[in-house]
Amino acid sequence: MSKAVSALRKTFFSELILTKSMGHRIAYIAVITALSVVSNMFLEFRLFDVQFSVTIVVSALAGILLGPLFGFVACYVGDLLGYVYNSWGQLYMPWVGLSTGVLALLAGLVFTCFRFRFRGSLYWKLALVCLLSLTVCTVAINTTGFYLYYQKIGFTEKAIEAISEKFGTGVTYWTYVGYRLLIGGQGWNCLANYALLFALIPLLNRIRPLNLNIG
């Protein structure tokens, strides 16, 4: 195997995937895909008028465990299957599935490209994953997708009134970003997911039978 091919394999596939048998690889991918479906369908709840879900945690976990390529596929397919199983009477919004897939892709790249290890390196990598999640997935993909969608069909009265009251202006792209993060509750959902991610990944890493060896 050439050095170039070996480097590409190490970039797009996690150490866990590269070191396991084909049967174990399929099992890991199937479990993560199923978890993605479940998180999209059932692991959502409202608290203080804020919609919470664990999609960010599941997507980051997928990328870290499976690597960028399989992580992206598992999360995007998981979102699509969740919609097919139960659409809740809504149109399919492809940017939502794209954002979950891209988060897995980015999380996977962080852990495959930065393989250095030092005391606390795991937390630095998780912090970078959270930063990329917020800027690329929550804002650049998800919020932009919803902004363009509502720009076409019309923003809700609640959004228009809240933006006017909070920012003293009409709906623009950046006021909508502010509304979605600060008023719509997406910022709180992100923070809750980041806290859970910082607690869960080190915990999984310490479970010896799993032998995840996440760095």
pTM beyond 0.85: the answer is yes
Q: In the chain, where are the structural domains located?
A: 3-210
Backbone angles phi, psi at 168, to 5 degrees: 65, 30
Please say whether the beta carbons of 92 and 135 come within 8 A.
no
170 CB burial (10 A radius; 0-12, 13-18, 19+): exposed
CA-based torsion, 200, 203, 209, 214: positive or negative: positive
Q: Both ends of the chain: CA-CA distance in Å?
A: 25
State the pLDDT at residue 19: 73
CATH code of the domain made up of 3-210: 1.10.1760.20
Three-class SS of residue 179? helix
Q: Mean pLDDT for each 10-residue chunk of the chain (215 residues)?
A: 71 71 81 84 66 87 90 91 75 89 94 80 92 95 93 88 87 92 88 93 75 63
**pLDDT on residue 47:** 64
Q: Is the separation of the CB atoms in 167 and 173 below 8 Å? A: no
How many Å apart are CA 33 and CA 44, to the nearest integer? Answer: 17
The number of helix segments (H) and strand segments (E) in the chain equals 11, 2
Cα(28)–Cα(89) distance, integer angstroms: 31
List helix spans (H) across 67-116.
68-85, 94-113
Q: At residue 58, what is the residue type?
A: V
Residue 4: how many CB atoms within 10 A of its CB?
8
Quick one: pLDDT at residue 108?
A: 92
Q: Which amino acid is at 93?
A: M
Q: Which helix (H) or strand (E) holds 164?
A: helix 157-167
Collapsing DSSP to helix, strand or coil, 33 comes out as helix
